[in-house]
Chains A and B, each alone.
Chain A
Amino acid sequence: MNAQRISAIFEKDIKDFMKNMMLLMMPVIPIILALLYKQLGGEEGLPIPMLYLIVGVTFSSVTASCMMTMMAEENEKKTLRGLMLSPASFLDIIIGKSLVVGLMSFIALTISLVIVGIKPFLNVQAIIGLILLFLFFLFLGIGIGLFTKSIASTSAYLMPVMFLFGFTPMIDFLGLGEDSTAIMIADVFPLMQLIDMHDTNSWIPIGIVAIWALGAALFTYICFKKVRTDD
């Protein structure tokens, strides 16, 4: 890992981000959603699942989506190969890009949560949970971005990611029975685990989200191995 190379990639990506209207609009989505939900919440504020819906939308539409688009663009325009042929390691490239996406996600999430109510998240367990959730979406974004060959094809992958992992709490509004298979599977998903975490002092939900993040990291590693050479 090399700090100068990481900062060079960060500097390049932040300049590129600021000139890319498509990416610039992404952090606005959760903020608008938060403003709309704020109206629904009334005096007593929004319930925890609704707050996590904002978190899910932020991480899927900003973290995963921006990362996916940035990596896919690098892949499509062959600039990623240029970075990989330079002395920068894959870790340098990923950290440099993640800092930009992380900064944008942090700004969007903070503004959104301040609008709808940030109090439930101001404890160590919730913060660790959010960090692990961020890493999960980040790795998912990197992996899919490496795997797809064009920006256009990222949308085909982004939709399932958003609906499965970003909007998971919405499953409760589908009117499915408590013991339905879909509900039982959805309960293991990272966002649902973090919602459950607020009802218990157990660290098991955090552990499960950590496993999801590790799985996404492994997926990223496999995708990286595939794009490293032309074989």
Chain B
Amino acid sequence: MNNAIEVNGLRKVFDQNAAIEDVSFFVKPGEIFGLLGPSGSGKTTTIKILTGELEQTAGDVNVLDVHSQSFGTSDFKSKIGILSDNSSLYERLTIYDNLKLFCKLYDAPLEQIDVMLDVVNLREESKKTVSKLSKGMKQRVLLAKALIHKPKLVFLDEPTSALDPGNVAHIHRGLQKLNEAGTTIFLTTHDMEEATELCDRVAFLDKGKLQELGNPDELRYKYSTHAFHVETFAGERLVIENESGNANKIKELIENGEVKAMQTDNPTLGQIFLKITGKELV
């Protein structure tokens, strides 16, 4: 298979306003790719175009070797899983009945229901009616629904929003297991820790334009000043540039036993985004 996702010169215009402008990227098979950006940056629009919920104004989009013109086929739909703001559940039915419906629609074995209930930590609640669930529990059921047919590629729009830290960790482990089994994951998130922990590569989107793309560690290195941040026992905070001329100064501090803590400058993804766009990633 070629790239799982290939996007070239993507453009989407709503009422003469460009929501996406000349966006190009690719996602390799088996990769976890994160699309990061503030609200209104075009993340959800991008996901909707990639899943066939929206048609692009211009540009070429291929997902799993299928051109966007053929996104409506059953064959294509059975290969992808989607969790987006358009995902919803049948409130009068139980968790089990909701998952059973999608198991049958995707021609997946019913045993998958229990497997997915374990992944999202809801095995005990399977007979509960959806209307009685909390927002976080519903989000977990939606995630189970998106993954129930073992899709080759899964699109997750803010998958862990509204979840408590314990369940976020549980879901992350589930997603990593899924990825190890070969599933490609395309996710959007505001959570920089989540992106750093899960993603092989991330792309920053702002005002519909791609601002940066790369491996989180490589980006952090690229945007690092490479300086040493030293905190002394005297309470001083020193920034020492990573240059050969400063080697003696660092050596001296260590020999004199003045160093309380020392670390290299290592910006977070949020700080990098701030540096590129001048705005917080919220």
Indicate whether A83 reaches chain B with its CB closer than 8 angstroms: yes
Stretch at the interface among A13-21, A58-66, A147-155: A13-21
Q: When the two chains form their complex, are residues B101 and A20 in contact, meaning their CB atoms are under 8 A apart?
A: no
A15 to B97, CA, bound (A): 9
Contacts of B87 in A (CB 8 A): 78, 81-82
- The answer, among A81, A87, A228, A231, for a CB contact under 8 Å with B106, is A87
Indicate whether A79 reaches chain B with its CB closer than 8 angstroms: yes
Residue of B nearest to A85 (CB): B82
Tally chain A residues at the interface, Cβ within 8 Å. 27
Q: Encode A30-71 as 1/0 by CB contact (under 8 A) with B.
A: 000000000000000000000000000000000000000000
A12 to B51, CA, bound (A): 25
Residues of chain A from 85 to 118 with CB closer than 8 A to chain B in the complex: 85-89
Q: Encode A1-20 as 1/0 by CB contact (under 8 A) with B.
A: 01011011101100110011
Indicate whether B256 reaches chain A with its CB closer than 8 angstroms: no
Q: When the two chains form their complex, are residues A77 and B91 in contact, meaning their CB atoms are under 8 A apart?
A: yes
A133 to B102, CA, bound (A): 33
Most buried by B among A2, A12, A20: A12
Stretch at the interface among B52-60, B158-166, B225-233: B52-60
Residue of A nearest to B56 (CB): A231
Q: When the two chains form their complex, are residues B89 and A79 in contact, meaning their CB atoms are under 8 A apart?
A: yes
Indicate whether B86 reaches chain A with its CB closer than 8 angstroms: yes
A8-B104, A86-B106, A230-B48 given; A81·B92 CB < 8 A: no
Indicate whether A229 reaches chain B with its CB closer than 8 angstroms: yes
Contacts of A231 in B (CB 8 A): 54-55
Residue of A nearest to B155 (CB): A85
A12-B101, A77-B91 given; A87·B53 CB < 8 A: no
Tally chain B residues at the interface, Cβ within 8 Å. 29
Residue of A nearest to B97 (CB): A15
A149 to B21, CA, bound (A): 30
- The answer, among B52, B74, B78, B88, for a CB contact under 8 Å with A82, is B88
Q: When the two chains form their complex, are residues B90 and A86 in contact, meaning their CB atoms are under 8 A apart?
A: no
Contacts of B78 in A (CB 8 A): 87
A82-B87, A85-B53, A231-B54 given; A20·B92 CB < 8 A: yes
- The answer, among B88, B90, B145, for a CB contact under 8 Å with A81, is B88
Contacts of A4 in B (CB 8 A): 104, 107
Q: Encode A207-231 as 1/0 by CB contact (under 8 A) with B.
A: 0000000000000000000001111
Q: Given contacts A2-B74, A77-B88, A78-B87, list 7 more A-B pairs with CB under 8 A.
A: A8-B100, A8-B105, A82-B102, A86-B106, A88-B74, A229-B54, A231-B54
A-B pairs, 8 with minimum CB distance: A8-B104, A87-B74, A78-B88, A19-B92, A86-B105, A87-B78, A81-B86, A12-B101
Q: Which residues of A contact B (CB under 8 A)?
A: 2, 4-5, 7-9, 11-12, 15-16, 19-20, 77-79, 81-83, 85-89, 228-231
A-B CB contact pairs (8 Å), 11 listed: A4-B107, A8-B100, A12-B101, A15-B92, A20-B92, A78-B88, A82-B86, A85-B53, A85-B82, A85-B86, A229-B55
